[in-house]
Amino acid sequence: MTGMPRDTLLKIGELARLTGLPVKTIRFWSDEGLVPPDGRTPAGYRLYGQQALVRLGLVRTLRELGVDHATIRRVLRRELTIADVAAAHAAWLDVRIRALRLHRAVLQTAAGRGSVTPEEIALLHRLARLSADERRRLVHEFIDDTFTGLDLGLDFLSMMRGAMPDLPEEPAQEQVEAWVELAELIRDPDFRASIGRAAVDQAHAIAEVGQPSPEANEALVTLLRERVGAAADAGIGPGSAEARPVVDEVAAAWAQHVGRPDGPEFRSWLLDRLEASTDRRYERYWQLVAVINGWPPAPRIMPAAEWLRMALRAGWAVGAPTDS
């Protein structure tokens, strides 16, 4: 495109054929002062030389990148370098990409629900666009409104605040979707009331039987998940006779875990604890926090806890455990 002799002047139509640009576009850029003509014919037609070809190539590239005319004009006047423009435009694109990710997350969330109102979409969009400070403030308000004033101990509130969901600077699609879902969840008064009741019951249980070590808690959770999970996978119903050995094993381990003898009284106590923590949304909260923060997903425990609860309700909360 730049192989024409230096003293050759082209009419706008010839320049259009040489560059592949529409005549209308070249004329507009010329009128804007981005590609001024190098002369005119006696009849007044514009003529363009080698420099016009160079300018056209630059203007075309910058316009395709979304750079506005005023900025291009400053580049052509050497007030800005191409590097300056590239850096500024790259930063602008980063902001735009993040915004588009948020928009896509909102649309996919709405599409996944099947039927949403304009008000619900507006809410999803507002939640997705919250700043980092606004997101933290929303979570802190949830913790304060839900747990402040309850007899939970300082460790509980520290744990909740220490596990603050925090979107990275450039979140993945699933992280944005998780944030939108979590933001809706913690704004739900019913969820706040439910998780508050569960936290109080947990605190009372700890006050009654003590707080086992994290390692001991993890061992019990693993036993519950694996032993009960295997029974459920094998098709053993929680109310069947085949469920009893599983219940006995898990209940005995749980009794030892809290330092109490297994038996009807303990199993009734255990059933009360399981009944107080049946809201699956609590586990969902921690699943969403893990996604948002990029943590490894925590194995699910709620299905196993529900199986054990149903088994205890079905009759295995009474009577002596089977002999081992």
The answer, yes or no, to whether residue 23 has pLDDT greater than 90, is yes
Burial class (CB in 10 A: 0-12, 13-18, 19+), 176: buried
Sign of CA dihedral 295, 299, 302, 303: positive
Q: 149 pLDDT band (50/70/90 cuts)?
A: confident
What pLDDT is attached to residue 95? 74
Average pLDDT on 96-121 reads: 75
Q: Which of 181, 208, 202 is nearest to 278 (CA)?
A: 202
- Domain-embedded: residue 323: no
Lowest-confidence pick of 80-84, 122-126, 173-177, 233-237: 122-126
The four Cα atoms 223, 224, 227, 228 give a dihedral, to 10 degrees, of 180
The answer, yes or no, to whether residue 319 has pLDDT greater than 60, is no
Counting residues of the chain whose pLDDT is more than 70, the rounded percentage is: 94
Indicate the pTM of the whole model: 0.63
Q: Examine the domain organization and report whether 25 and 94 are in the same domain.
A: no
Higher pLDDT, 151 or 79: 79
Domain that holds residue 49: 10-80
What pLDDT is attached to residue 1? 46
Average pLDDT on 119-135 reads: 79
- Domain-embedded: residue 190: yes
Strands 10-11 and 39-40: unpaired
Q: Examine the domain organization and report whether 111 and 253 are in the same domain.
A: no
Q: Examine the domain organization and report whether 144 and 246 are in the same domain.
A: yes
Reported residue count of the chain is 324
Distance CA 153, CA 150 (A): 8
- Domain-embedded: residue 209: yes
